[in-house]
Structure 1
Amino acid sequence: MTDIEKLLAIEEIKQLKARYFRSIDTKEFDTLRTVFAPDAVFDFREALRDPVAGTPEGYTEHEPVSGLENIVTYIGGALANAQSAHHGHTPEIELLSETTARGIHPMEDTVKNGTFFFRGYGHYRETYEKIDGAWRIKTSQLTRLFVKIESR
């Protein structure tokens, strides 16, 4: 790859992650289908686990979700009635080949669903694959540095 091709690939992956954040906050779940690879794996076991305080009482950690439709169904079910804001910051993206890459996206999010409210920050650790000319998320793991949960 030329330097320009590498820069374009990195920018396309940044735009992909931006589309992920926007689509989950605006509930555009059809758009979310354009983000993940058909055989993607989404690991959100740490979504509500604070590294110091631990996992909140009554919260059951789920196994990673596999497959595009299962991921969209899970995220849609979790966020359909929630108000949320997800922000990604200063990603590190490494191209491994012309069709594969990996990245780390620092993030923060706020979610309110009825009386449940939380705010957290951490990282998405991801791999990407270029499929039919477009980058897609192949694996995504959410890790946390901080989570604050409140009932209102």
Structure 2
Amino acid sequence: MTDIETLLAIEEIKQLKARYFRSIDTKEFDTLRTVFAPDATFDFREALRDPVLGTPEGVTEHEPVSGLENIVSYIGGALATAQSAHHGHTPEIELLSDTTARGIHPMEDTVLNGSFFFRGYGHYRETYVKLADGWRIHTSQLTRLLVRVESR
């Protein structure tokens, strides 16, 4: 790849992640279908787990979700009635080939959902694949640095 092609691919992946954040916060779950590859895996086991304090009482951890429709259904169900704000910052993206890449996206999120208020900081560790219609997330793992959950 030329330097320009490399920069273009990195920018396309940044835009892909931005579309992910926007679509989950605005509840545009059809748009979320344009973010993940058909055979994607989303590992959110650490989504509510603080690395020091552990998982809050009463919170059930789930196994990773595989497959585009399963991922969209899970995220849609988890956030359907929540108010949320997700932000990604200064990603590190490495192209591995013309059609594969990996990246780390520092992030923070705030979620208000019925009886609890949540704020977290961490990283999305991802791999990407370029399909006929553009870059897609192939694997996504959310890891945490700090989590705070409060009852309302």
- In the TM superposition, residue 116 of structure 1 has moved relative to its aligned partner by 1.0
Letter in 2 for 1:43: D
Give distance in 2, aligned partners of 1:133 and 1:59: 38
1:121 aligns with 2:126: no
SS in 2 for 1:57: coil
SS in 1 for 2:90: coil
SS in 1 for 2:52: coil
Letter in 1 for 2:4: I
Question: What is the TM-score with the length of structure 1 in the denominator?
Answer: 0.99
Identify if the C-alpha distance between structure 1 residues 30 and 133 changes in structure 2 by more than 3 Å, giving closer, same or farther.
Answer: closer
- In the TM superposition, residue 133 of structure 1 has moved relative to its aligned partner by 4.0
Give distance in 1, aligned partners of 2:136 and 2:113: 29
Question: What is the TM-score with the length of structure 2 in the denominator?
Answer: 0.99
Percent identical residues: 88
1:29 aligns with 2:29: yes
SS in 1 for 2:41: strand
Give distance in 1, aligned partners of 2:97 and 2:151: 46
SS in 1 for 2:4: helix
Give distance in 1, aligned partners of 2:96 and 2:133: 16
Give distance in 2, aligned partners of 1:76 and 1:70: 10
Structure 1 segments of 4+ aligned residues over 4 angstroms from their partners? none
Give distance in 1, aligned partners of 2:104 and 2:85: 19
Instruction: Figure out how many residues of one structure are paired with residues of the other and give that number.
Output: 152
Matches within 5 A, 1:56-67: 56-67=56-67
Residue in 2 aligned with 1:107? 107
CA-based RMSD of the aligned residues comes to 0.5
- In the TM superposition, residue 114 of structure 1 has moved relative to its aligned partner by 1.0
For structure 1, the residue ranges without an aligned partner over 5 or more in a row are none
Residue in 1 aligned with 2:69? 69
